[in-house]
Amino acid sequence: MLQRLKQLLRRALTAPAPAPVAATPNDAAIADNATLRDAHLSGWFRHESGELFEGFPINAEDTVLDIGCGDGPFAQFCAERGAEVIVADIDGDKIAALAERLRQTSARAITPLVTDANPIPLPDGSANKIIAMEVLEHVEDPAQFMRELVRVAKPGAQFLLTVPDPLGESVQKKLAPAAYFEHPNHIRVFQREEFEQLILDAGLIIERRADYGFYWSVWWFMFWACKQELSPPWHPLLESWTHTWNLLLSMPDGPRIKKALDQAMPKSQAIIARKP
């Protein structure tokens, strides 16, 4: 149970959704799936502009490092844009499966790494796009981890970093089992100012901040009531919540309401930063 909890915690931000879906959906898929539509409205998977996340474009000339990549939906988006992709995770089985899948894309090159990132087995200046999604809250020494990310980044490299938001985590502490906040899961909660300072202390320049994921915050609160395994078929309560959210997003005022709720209780906070 603990290992499965760790796996889903890593993915709960934006994708994949609770139901199996394409990692990089087209517009029709987004319209038909509440969680994909939610992610797209938050700024994720912008095929029309080539942005993995708003303000974080990917093109074929990029070399992307996705550290703590898990099942690899973000790496797959980059691979489908033709980038060179380096995927790194502590789970060797996941890396092997992901590397095989990425080889079926138009990626310029694929480098799989099985590593705990201490250190990252790459030379200095290896990548110009660094992705670390929902990873820092699992790391024993975040400052050391950031130093490694900066070391393997080229001058001018762009970083996309996310961690859970402290407001949602404060509710989780009252609802989730103790394992949620024990190694190898969330061993720390980053306050918003603390997250920013960590990135600034690493020598990076912050370009953009974003908060999003109200849908996922509520999904997790409900999940603990369902007493089910961390895999579909999902409890009717979770299905009902997804259906309700989809109805909201389909309404003319839905996106505006989503934005307000995302700001009020986001699942995650993101920072886009750049190495000088």
Q: What is the DSSP string of 186-252?
A: ------HHHHHHHHHHTT-EEEEEEEE-HHHHHHHHHHHHH---SSSSPPHHHHHHHHHHHHHHHST
36: CATH: 3.40.50.150
Over residues 43-71, the mean pLDDT reads 96
What digits encode the pLDDT tens for the residues 62-77? 999 999 999 999 999 9
CA distances to 12, 24, 211, 215, 268 from 167, in Å: 16, 29, 11, 14, 9
Q: What percent of the chain has pLDDT over 90?
A: 84
CB atoms within 10 A of CB 104: 10
Q: Which tokens go with 11?
A: 């993915």
d(CA 152, CA 163): 21
Residue 101 has pLDDT above 50, yes or no: yes
Q: Give the residue from 265, 137, 140 showing the smallest Cα distance to 189.
A: 137
| pLDDT score of 85 | 98
Task: State the average pLDDT for the chain.
Answer: 89
| pLDDT score of 34 | 57
d(CA 218, CA 221): 5
CB atoms within 10 A of CB 100: 11
| pLDDT score of 5 | 40
Backbone angles phi, psi at 15, to 5 degrees: -160, 150
- 25-29, 103-107, 113-117, 202-206: least confident range: 25-29
Domains contained in the chain, number:
1
CB atoms within 10 A of CB 197: 12
Q: Give the residue from 147, 276, 263, 266 showing the smallest Cα distance to 206.
A: 276
| pLDDT score of 118 | 92
Q: Mapping DSSP to helix (H, G, I), strand (E, B) and coil, where does residue 156 land?
A: strand
The domain of 188 spans 2-274
Residue 17 has pLDDT above 60, yes or no: no
| pLDDT score of 230 | 84
Question: Between residues 139 and 11, which one has the greater pLDDT?
Answer: 139
Q: Which tokens go with 51?
A: 């942005």
